[in-house]
Amino acid sequence: MSSGTGPSSSATSSRKVRLATVWLAGCSGCHMSFLDLDEWLLELAELAEIVYSPVGSDVKTYPEGVDVCLVEGGVANADNLELLHQVRTRTRVLISFGDCAITANIPGMRNMLHGADPVLRKAYLELADGSGQLPHAPGIVPELLERVLPVHELVPVELYLPGCPPSAARIRAALEPLLQGGWPELSGADLIRFG
Amino acid sequence: MSGILRVCTAAGCAGCGGSALREQLGAVIAAATTGDPASGLALKGVGCLGPCGEGALLELESASGRRLFGGITPEGVAAVAASLANLSPGTDLGTWAPPAARPIDLEQPFFRLQKRLVLEHCGRIDPESLAEALAAGSYGQLRRVLQENRPEAVIEQVRRSGLRGRGGGGYPTGLKWATVARMPGPEKVVVCNADEGDPGAFMDRSVLEGDPHRLLEGMAIAAWAVGASRGFIYVRAEYPMAIAHLRTAIAQAEDQGLLGAAIAGSAFGFQLELRVGAGAFVCGEETALIHSIEGQRGVPRPRPPYPAEVGVFGLPTLINNVETFASVPPLLAIGAEAYAAIGTTNSGGTKVFSLTGDVRLAGVLEVPMGTPIATIVETMGGGAPDGHAIKAVQTGGPSGGCVPANRLDTPVDYESLQELGSIMGSGGMVVMDDSTSMVDVACFFMAFCREESCGKCIPCRSGTVQLHLLLQKHLAGEADAADLAQLESLCHMVKDTSLCGLGQSAPKPVLSTLRHFRGDYLALLRPEPEATPEPVP
Amino acid sequence: MSVRTLRIDGRDLAVPEGTTLLQAAREAGIAIPTLCHLEGLSPVAACRLCLVEIEGTDKLLPACITPASEGMVVQTATPRLQDIRRTVVELLFTEGNHVCAICVANGHCELQDLAVTTGMDHSRLPYRFPARRVDLSHPFFGLDHNRCILCTRCVRVCDEVEGAHVWDVGWRGEHCRIIAGLDEPWGAVDACTNCGKCVQVCPTGALFHKGDTTAEKHDEPAQLQALVHARHHQQWNP
């Protein structure tokens, strides 16, 4: 980042912004919208280094020293939770990316059944075709949390980017100032509408 | 042998042996033949005798004076009855010591420091007997004011007495009466709010159960003074004995021409109806109460218009609480100046309190306005039991707050309590000792408001839930400083924006405990999590 | 007719006696957010969004029912009021299950709009995820309690305009819900005339036409207002 006005005091002007995107419990629609940035992605690549992303990197471990991370999805299982805590400790600007991250949205609808066990029973036994069984594979299938939670109910969040998904223009409106060392002011229906 | 046995049959004592005691003592006296010691005795079931925590209570009155006995259990009733039946001939009632009962000193401060005006007849007379009420002077003031025929003079007396709304609001009663009296229109209504619902409050219940005619007389005087011909008593369904005694009293008064048409030979008529609530705390709020009387859903509406202008069925309506109406006959009897002289400059007269919680002597008492809280809880109530110290006194129920121990010198009057972030309220006084978590207390009251919110406006309907969740988070040790800040700001939001008094005062127990016992909250906070790599603006 | 002069947000206004602060503000182009209020229905002052500050009193007053009075000085958008409004919207979002992405009213929802207006990009209060039901027993319409904000517009329009009083509020506090008839399935209530006015005035996707899918529902309060106006003035030809 080039200036000290944003949360970038330690970043030097010579270094590219270390950008990550993370996909928790969501449909990946936010990431698809990110890809809809089309040619601006080329500009982005000039300003930022994609250090971790399901759509832009093969790195399997969330790295240290990330400047900005877009977190898509609610927090639904033990893996989500572990990754989120990693993201939080290794990232300066955490952006809650899309309605699932901000409200739990569609994944959160299982919360109305009040608990992981009723959800699993409903999905794998009650609605099964006769030979249903509860999935159980410790270490392979991550345990469901009792409730799907929005990101900010678990860790501090610096910026919220609502939308299902947030449009490419909205994503750019959030990222561009950050990449230039500023801070985005998001308001109005074009930038913060749910849905 | 002659004398009177008074058994407290108010709800508290009735539930712990009082009813059985009355029944079995009655059987002994009925079975006594001439010459038996019990044959000359009179037995009365009476309203609240005072120290409810000591129940069941039995008072003996004979030529040698009055003596009070307490601690009678359902198991001990038979022994008391047998002892009475087996008294040897020639025994004086003044020397009989009922077994399985402990004597209670009637000279101790609990009794000595009381000034009983509202409760004058409570515990003395049989509440189901109009004859006893009349013999004690009931309806004398109604008769007198009807005869003198100067309603404006009655209102002036009430105004000068300094009497203020005993439901907790403290609005000057005389001013309220004058406002309704001045309203145009041929039809007006008088309503008694007997929907006493604060946890720990049972003053009004004592009046309703123990001396219902005092209330009816007060209401009739008010109706006559403001020009109303219809009245309603809105009483909560949770008070079955109060309802039964009111029904009896209304029927008796109508039968004797003290209610209904042409009261006491005058042209004044007053039709009084009983309305029984369906278990909603919010119906104690006057606009919700009006809706409920009208047969509508018991939810509040914005004021203005105030009930004095648009009340029950759209008519100008005077709404007062039980104790306010019941204060009127004694006030008129002793005169406005004498009544005002009892209390403080801004709060005239006496106030009935129900003293409960961590206190040695719990019960119903009536003291002059301005009595220091310490006098009530320490001197009269005996302080906290079992070697504990008092930590706080809660007044005003879920709409009130806590007075900390170091402020117990505060006099009970409307302004002083408000200054401390509490309210006078209707008279519930809950004592809490040093083992009490004030966060727990706040959480209890918030749970109550959450349960009792009517749901009409969003700050109360949803805000009380979020506040309750936040308090539970504190109690579970999962809250951090940000949660505490959120708790505080949401309290102010709910207080400032709710539609009616329930929501506006629901955060008070939290705000009051935050003010006086912030340490209790801070002690529950979990340590701050590790900071993120670099602070972010 | 006498006139009242007052000042709203620094602008001097003169309005006829009996004008509410909300009407006065709107006529002057000052936007005060509302939700339970709807022109044509009786005001209930329940949503508290239109609370305003008035000089000389600590109490916040609802603009929808407070009449303009002489010399009043009103503030409609102080930081305090803005924070209150955002909190109100957060309380509404968190007490129900408002999943905008799959709602019939997505893009045409007054609650969704209010989140934008009040700058609510996330809720500072936790979501409660209550268990609520959907009533699809009516042949033409549906009621999804998950999206209901209890503004009672449906209750009032059915009672005051249609005269059928199919709707009311049942239970209390957090358990409140809109009920049809005596808490019956909507389709089983004979009093319903199938007029659809309740659907027209519903500010969210709680009441909807069957067959509407995501983002297809538009509320149409203008029809109600035209009808109320026509009745009031006995003018049936537009």
- Give the start-to-end residue ranges of the domains of chain A: 17-109+144-182
Amino acid at C9: D
Buried-exposed string C57-86: b where 16+ CB fall within 10 A, e elsewhere:
eeebbbbbbbebeeebebebeeeebeebbb
Buried-exposed string B57-79: b where 16+ CB fall within 10 A, e elsewhere:
bbbbbbeeeebbbbbbeeebbeb
Hey, what's the torsion of the CAs at A43, A46, A48, A51, to 10 degrees? 110
CA distance B456 to B464: 13
Band (C80; pLDDT cuts 50, 70, 90): very high
Neighbours of chain A (3+ CB pairs under 8 A): B, C
pLDDT in tens, chain A (195 residues): 333 344 444 444 558 999 999 999 999 999 999 999 999 999 999 999 999 999 999 999 999 999 999 999 999 999 999 999 999 999 999 999 999 999 999 999 999 999 999 999 999 999 988 888 998 888 899 999 999 999 999 999 999 999 999 999 999 999 999 999 999 999 999 999 999
The structure tokens listed for B498 are 């709710």
How many other C-beta atoms can be found within 10 angstroms of the C-beta atom of residue B534?
11
Contacts of A93 (CB under 8 A, 6+ apart): A6, A7, A67, A68, A69, A158, A159, A178, B536
> A89 vs B532: CB contact, 8 Å cut-off?
yes
- pLDDT (average), residues B462-473: 98
From first CA to last CA, the distance across chain C in angstroms is 27
Judged by a CB distance cut-off of 8 A, whether residue C103 touches chain A is yes
Q: Which CATH architecture does the domain made up of B130-341 adopt?
A: 3-Layer(aba) Sandwich (3.40)
* C51: closest chain B residue by CA: B497
pLDDT tens digits for B255-270?
Answer: 999 999 999 999 999 9
Cα–Cα distances (Å) from B400 to B397, B421, C4, in that order, read 5, 8, 39
DSSP string, chain A: ---SSSS-TT--TTSPEEEEEEE-BS-SHHHHHHHTTTTHHHHHHHHEEEEE-TTT----SPPSSEEEEEEESBEEEHHHHHHHHHHHHHEEEEEEESHHHHH-TTGGGGGGG-SHHHHHHIIIIITSSS-------TTTSPPEEEEEE-GGGTS--SEEE-SSSPPHHHHHHHHHHHHTT------SHHHH---
Q: Is the confidence at residue C174, as pLDDT, over 80?
A: yes
How far away is chain B from the Cα of C237, in angstroms, using its nearest Cα? 36
Q: Which of residues 440-499 of B touch C (CB under 8 A)?
A: 450-459, 461-466, 469, 486, 490, 493, 496-499
**Residue A188 pairs with which residues in a beta bridge?**
none
The structure tokens listed for B526 are 């979990």
The structure tokens listed for A53 are 């992303």
B258, B251 Cβ separation under 8 angstroms: no
CB burial of residue A191 (10 Å; 0-12, 13-18, 19+): buried
Amino acid at C109: C
The predicted pLDDT at position A139 comes to 87
Is C225 within a domain?
A: yes
Q: Are C71 and C88 within one domain?
A: no
Q: Is the confidence at residue B160, as pLDDT, over 80?
A: yes
Q: Is the confidence at residue B535, as pLDDT, over 80?
A: no
Q: Is the confidence at residue B73, as pLDDT, over 70?
A: yes
* A5: closest chain B residue by CA: B537
Interface predicted TM-score (ipTM) of this complex, two decimals:
0.96
The predicted pLDDT at position B87 comes to 87
CA distance A60 to B352: 73
> A192 vs C130: CB contact, 8 Å cut-off?
no
* DSSP code at position C128: -
The predicted pLDDT at position B532 comes to 52
* B contact test, residue of C95, C125, C127, C132 with most B CBs within 10 A: C125
Q: Taking the domains of chain B in order of start, what are their residue ranges?
A: 3-106, 130-341, 358-433, 438-522
The predicted pLDDT at position C161 comes to 96
The pLDDT > 90 percentage for chain C reads 93
Band (C60; pLDDT cuts 50, 70, 90): very high
CATH of the domain at C13: 3.10.20.740
The structure tokens listed for C238 are 């537009």
pLDDT tens digits for C190-202?
Answer: 999 999 999 999 9
> C126 vs A153: CB contact, 8 Å cut-off?
yes
The structure tokens listed for B145 are 């004011």
Cα–Cα distances (Å) from A20 to A31, A51, A68, A186, C70, in that order, read 11, 5, 6, 20, 59
Q: Is the confidence at residue C103, as pLDDT, over 80?
A: yes
Q: Are C129 and C203 within one domain?
A: yes
CB < 8 Å to C65, chain B: 302
Is C132 within a domain?
A: yes
* DSSP code at position C39: T
* B450: closest chain C residue by CA: C173
Which of these three, C58, C77, C96, is where a domain ends?
C77
> C121 vs A160: CB contact, 8 Å cut-off?
yes
pLDDT tens digits for B342-399?
Answer: 999 999 999 999 999 999 999 999 999 999 999 999 999 999 999 999 999 999 989 9
Backbone Cα Rg of chain C: 19
Class of domain B3-106: alpha beta
> A93 vs B536: CB contact, 8 Å cut-off?
yes
Widest pairwise Cα distance in chain B: 97
Buried-exposed string B468-484: b where 16+ CB fall within 10 A, e elsewhere:
bbbbebbeeeebeeebb
Q: How many helices (H) and strands (E) does chain B have?
A: 22, 14
DSSP string, B351-417: EEEEEEES-SS-EEEEEETT-BHHIIIIIIT---STT--EEEEEESGGGSEEEEGGGTT-B-SHHHH
Q: Which CATH architecture does the domain made up of A17-109+144-182 adopt?
A: 3-Layer(aba) Sandwich (3.40)
> B465 vs C176: CB contact, 8 Å cut-off?
no
**Residue B321 pairs with which residues in a beta bridge?**
B193
> B532 vs A6: CB contact, 8 Å cut-off?
no
Helix (H) or strand (E) holding B450, with range, is helix B438-452
> C92 vs B458: CB contact, 8 Å cut-off?
yes
Judged by a CB distance cut-off of 8 A, whether residue A102 touches chain C is yes
* DSSP code at position B471: H
How far away is chain A from the Cα of C201, in angstroms, using its nearest Cα? 21
The predicted pLDDT at position B531 comes to 53
* DSSP code at position B120: T
CB < 8 Å to C109, chain A: 195
Three-state helix/strand/coil letters over B32-57: CCCCCHHHHEEEEEECCCCCHHHCCC
> A89 vs B533: CB contact, 8 Å cut-off?
yes
How far away is chain C from the Cα of B454, in angstroms, using its nearest Cα? 5
Q: Are C107 and C213 within one domain?
A: yes
Write out the residue range of the structural domain in which residue C217 sits: 83-233
Hey, what's the torsion of the CAs at B437, B438, B443, B445, to 10 degrees? 120
Which of these three, C47, C77, C107, is where a domain ends?
C77
- pLDDT (average), residues B89-115: 92
The pLDDT > 70 percentage for chain C reads 99
Of the partner residues A7, A65, A90, the one whose CB lies closest to the CB of residue B536: A7
pLDDT tens digits for C106-125?
Answer: 999 999 999 999 999 999 99
CA distance A183 to B227: 69
**Residue C208 pairs with which residues in a beta bridge?**
C142
Dihedral (CA of A143, A146, A147, A150) sign: negative
Judged by a CB distance cut-off of 8 A, whether residue C9 touches chain A is no
* B contact test, residue of C21, C22, C34, C48 with most B CBs within 10 A: C48
Judged by a CB distance cut-off of 8 A, whether residue A188 touches chain C is yes
Amino acid at B178: A
Contacts of B287 (CB under 8 A, 6+ apart): B300, B301, B303, B307, B500
Judged by a CB distance cut-off of 8 A, whether residue C129 touches chain B is no
A25, A147 Cβ separation under 8 angstroms: no
CA distance C38 to C156: 10
What is the tally of structural domains in chain C?
Answer: 2
How far away is chain A from the Cα of B482, in angstroms, using its nearest Cα? 11
> A90 vs B533: CB contact, 8 Å cut-off?
yes
**Residue A71 pairs with which residues in a beta bridge?**
A22, A96
* DSSP code at position B105: -
CA distance B445 to B425: 14
pLDDT tens digits for B405-445?
Answer: 999 999 999 999 999 888 888 899 999 999 999 999 999 99
CATH number of this structure's domain B438-522, picked from the four choices 1.20.1110.10, 2.60.40.1930, 1.20.1440.230, 3.40.50.2300: 1.20.1440.230
Judged by a CB distance cut-off of 8 A, whether residue B193 touches chain C is no
By C-alpha distance, which of B153, B179, B189 is closest to B270?
Answer: B189
Q: Are C32 and C105 within one domain?
A: no
CA distance A66 to A69: 7
3-class SS of residue B446: helix
Judged by a CB distance cut-off of 8 A, whether residue A108 touches chain C is yes
Q: Does the domain spanning B358-433 belong to CATH 3.10.20.600? A: yes
Judged by a CB distance cut-off of 8 A, whether residue C177 touches chain B is no
Q: Are C150 and C216 within one domain?
A: yes
Q: Are C169 and C119 within one domain?
A: yes
The pLDDT > 90 percentage for chain B reads 90
Judged by a CB distance cut-off of 8 A, whether residue C131 touches chain A is yes
CB burial of residue C38 (10 Å; 0-12, 13-18, 19+): buried
Q: Is the confidence at residue B185, as pLDDT, over 70?
A: yes
The owner of tokens 């709060």 is: B347
Judged by a CB distance cut-off of 8 A, whether residue C116 touches chain A is yes
> A113 vs C102: CB contact, 8 Å cut-off?
no
Judged by a CB distance cut-off of 8 A, whether residue B533 touches chain A is yes
What are the residue ranges of helices labelled H in chain C? 21-27, 79-95, 110-117, 153-156, 197-201, 221-233
CB < 8 Å to A187, chain C: 116, 119
CB < 8 Å to A10, chain B: 534
How far away is chain A from the Cα of C166, in angstroms, using its nearest Cα? 28
CA distance B201 to B403: 17
Band (B90; pLDDT cuts 50, 70, 90): confident
* C119: closest chain A residue by CA: A187
- pLDDT (average), residues B301-322: 96
Give chain B's mean pLDDT: 95
* C146: closest chain A residue by CA: A112
Distance of CA B242 to the CA centre of its chain: 12
* C125: closest chain A residue by CA: A153
Judged by a CB distance cut-off of 8 A, whether residue C122 touches chain A is yes
3-class SS of residue B67: strand
* B537: closest chain A residue by CA: A7
Dihedral (CA of B29, B30, B33, B39) sign: positive
| Residue B393 CB-half CA count within 13 A | 33
Judged by a CB distance cut-off of 8 A, whether residue A109 touches chain C is yes
CB < 8 Å to A153, chain C: 126
Neighbours of chain B (3+ CB pairs under 8 A): A, C
CA distance B16 to B70: 11
Judged by a CB distance cut-off of 8 A, whether residue C44 touches chain B is yes
3-class SS of residue C129: coil
> A89 vs B534: CB contact, 8 Å cut-off?
no
3-class SS of residue C159: helix
The predicted pLDDT at position B40 comes to 84
Amino acid at B446: M
CATH of the domain at C176: 3.30.70.20
